Amino acid sequence: MAGDFNAEQKRYLEGFASGIAAARLTGGLALGGGAAAAPSEPTGPDAIHIKAQDKTVKDGGKLCDQEKWKRAENPFDGHNRLIREAAAGTQPKPEDNFRWRYHGLFWLAPNKTHYMCRMRIPNGILQHWQFAGVADLADAHGGPYTHVTTRANLQVREITPEHGQAFLDGLTDLGLTARGAGADNIRNVTGSPTAGIDAQELIDTRPLAKSWHNWILNDRSLYGLPRKFNVAFDGGGVMPVLEETNDIGFQAVEVVEGAGVEPGVWMRLVLGGISGHRDLARDTGIVLKPEDCNLVADAIIRVFIENGDRTNRAKARMKYVLDAWGFDKYLAAVEEKLGRKLDRVAPEHVAPRKPTDRFSHVGVHRQAQDGLNWVGVVLPVGKMTTDQMRELARISSECGDGQIRLTVWQNFIFSGVPDAKVAEVESRVAALGLTTKAAGIRSGLVACTGSNGCKFAAADTKGDAILIADHVERTVSDLDVPVNVHLTGCHHSCAQHYIGDIGLIGAKVPVGEDGDMVAGYDIVVGGGFAENPKIGTEIWKAVKAEDCPGRVEALLKTYIALRTSKDESFQ
Ligand code: SF4
């Protein structure tokens, strides 16, 4: 049968993991022998991806493993097989671990005995009963705790293989989903955590985030990108959402008279943020009506799907297409897809963003609504036990508006708390061993999953973050301003170490002369975000993890000694 294929078809067949790829090439025919049908044009929602893979191979590229896996069996088509195999106790092969991630389950290093489930929570907002329901699901199927992620999302760990689907079914019962939460998909949609309650905001991001969330969920062609993809909506309020670290950021801005478009609130389009690759999103000069965000994001992503690198995972993010093409060419391709030009305004016709409050995610803050407050609770490296979660849900229901709003700072806020209930919230939170106080280091501590659950990690980021916080609280008693310390386990930079006041990225540190290595970090300082976006500068390489608390102490003491006032930021 091999002789029936031309040279181009043979290249495909050599590259693919299973005969299903061959079936696609032959229109699903002829695997059993006989003359192959002529290759047919792919159709349906997967066609855009198949054509991009075809083009890659035609141009002489070798598809990376993940592309071969997607092509051999679309993870959605493989769902029922995955369930059957998990129920039978079969450990997923690497390609099935990848496919499970389309359904939100991750078979995790280092032990690889359990799944972790990452959800999708648009704008990070949960009802109290959903929050308590996730705690119950974790108890029934996984470990008795959850983590808040840096995309204002929840993760539950220690889910045994046979419980994976039951956990996902439980999410559906709660009106939640994990679909597309991992692998090469558009990740949880973030929006301003104080949307709708912030006197400073220009626009309420909740409907925008929810609408984009539903747009993605209901279009299979928007899954299976060349690489993961992040989209964020910033409403212009006091709490930053770090949209500059996203592939697409929509920023609410005020356009003033004389810009050539109607004055008022528009969404400015920024593109190409990926802080782990030392790049923050850049302004395109384009402004959109809020109702056009989905259509434009869709077109941007389709240009990426068609032109992203499918051969090299390290270069597969949209940033690399932007770097290769330049913004003008990329945006021209987007406009061609849309069939119209997008509006542009010069920076001088956009009012400056109102300042953010770097610690508005912690403590008590007045809402736009008279007599109401939001109250931010510190979660050490994002962790809560399920017992804590159930009581937090009760507090939200009895003292607030019933919502729990997760933030990208790995914590959450209660919203709609009347003045008369603030003290009760604070004392009930304290009774759980948590705090609402925005003191020192702990409220700005961000850490990725680290070596306890991620195969890429060079260090135990969460454990080391706690050690650093404990040490600093003992040794830097005069730390009177909040400081952001971000620990990330590898170059993927899930904890965005480059935008922290102090950032640590996991590194193996050589010790002795016989090639032994221990966990440690490279250390950067002076990163920033929102109105002060900046990629931090590396100052130390390969510091042993055990020495990092002392280095952070030294940095903080130097800052306190050299600053001219408390208002001078670490940056
Ligand atoms: Fe894993 Fe690296 Fe992300 Fe940390 S930054 S969770 S080590 S991929």
- Poorest-confidence range of 115-124, 198-207, 505-514? 505-514
Per-residue pLDDT band at 39 (split at 50, 70, 90): low
Burial string for 439-450 (b: 16+ CB within 10 Å, else e) reads bbbbbbbbbbbb
Ligand 1 geometric centre to CA of 534 (Å): 21
Q: Round to the nearest angstrom and report the end-to-end CA distance of the chain.
A: 65
3-state class (DSSP) for residue 21: helix
209 lines ligand 1 (CB under 6 A): no
Q: How far is the CA of 229 from the centre of ligand 1 (A)?
A: 15
Structure letter (DSSP) for residue 181: -
Residue 282: the pLDDT is: 94
Report the alpha-carbon angle 252-258-260, nearest 5: 75
pTM of the model: 0.88
For 311-362, the pLDDT digits (tens) are 999 999 999 999 999 999 999 999 999 999 999 999 999 999 999 988 899 9
Angstrom distances, CA of residue 560 to CA of 156, 216, 499, 501: 39, 47, 20, 13
User: What does the angle CA 105 – CA 109 – CA 111 come to, to the nearest 5 degrees?
Assistant: 110
Least confident of 81-90, 332-341, 365-374, 378-387: 81-90
pLDDT band at 221 (very low <50, low <70, confident <90, very high): very high
Indicate which atom in ligand 1 lies nearest the CA of residue 455.
1
Binding site membership of 493 for ligand 1 (Cβ less than 6 Å):
yes
Q: Are residues 447 and 375 in contact, defined by beta-carbon separation less than 8 angstroms? A: no
274, 462, 490: residue to mutate for ligand 1 pocket, most atoms within 8 A of CB: 490
Mutating to test ligand 1, I would choose from 153, 227, 381, 488 the residue with most ligand atoms within 8 A of its C-beta, which is 488
Binding site membership of 459 for ligand 1 (Cβ less than 6 Å): no
Average pLDDT over residues 89-112: 87
Mean pLDDT, rounded, for 83-110: 88
pLDDT given for residue 38 in this prediction: 56
For ligand 1, say whether the CB of 494 is within 6 Å of any of its atoms. Answer: yes
- In the reported structure, the alpha carbon of residue 225 is separated from the centroid of ligand 1 by a whole-number distance in angstroms of 20
The per-residue pLDDT for 7 is 52
pLDDT tens digit sequence for 241-272: 999 999 999 999 999 999 999 999 999 999 99
Residue identified by tokens 């290595």 is: 517
Give the pairing type, strands 412-418 and 403-406. antiparallel
pLDDT > 70: what percent of the chain? 92
* Mean pLDDT, the chain, whole residue set: 89
Best probe residue, ligand 1, of 101, 456, 464 (max atoms within 8 Å of C-beta): 456
State in Å: Cα 456 to ligand 1 middle.
Answer: 6
Determine the Cα–Cα distance for residues 570 and 502; give it in Å rounded to an integer: 9
Ligand 1 within 6 A of 284 CB?
no
Give the Cα separation of 419 and 250 in Å (integer).
Answer: 33
Cα–Cα distance for residue pair 254/350, rounded to 1 Å:
6
Q: Which residue has the higher pLDDT, 176 or 446?
A: 176
Query: Mind listing the pLDDT tens digit for each residue in 50-70?
Result: 999 999 999 999 999 999 999
Give how far the C-alpha of residue 316 lies from the chain's centroid of Cα atoms, to the nearest Å: 16
Q: Which of 149, 245, 460, 492 to mutate to test the pocket of ligand 1 (most atoms within 8 A of CB)?
A: 492
The residue count of the chain comes to 571
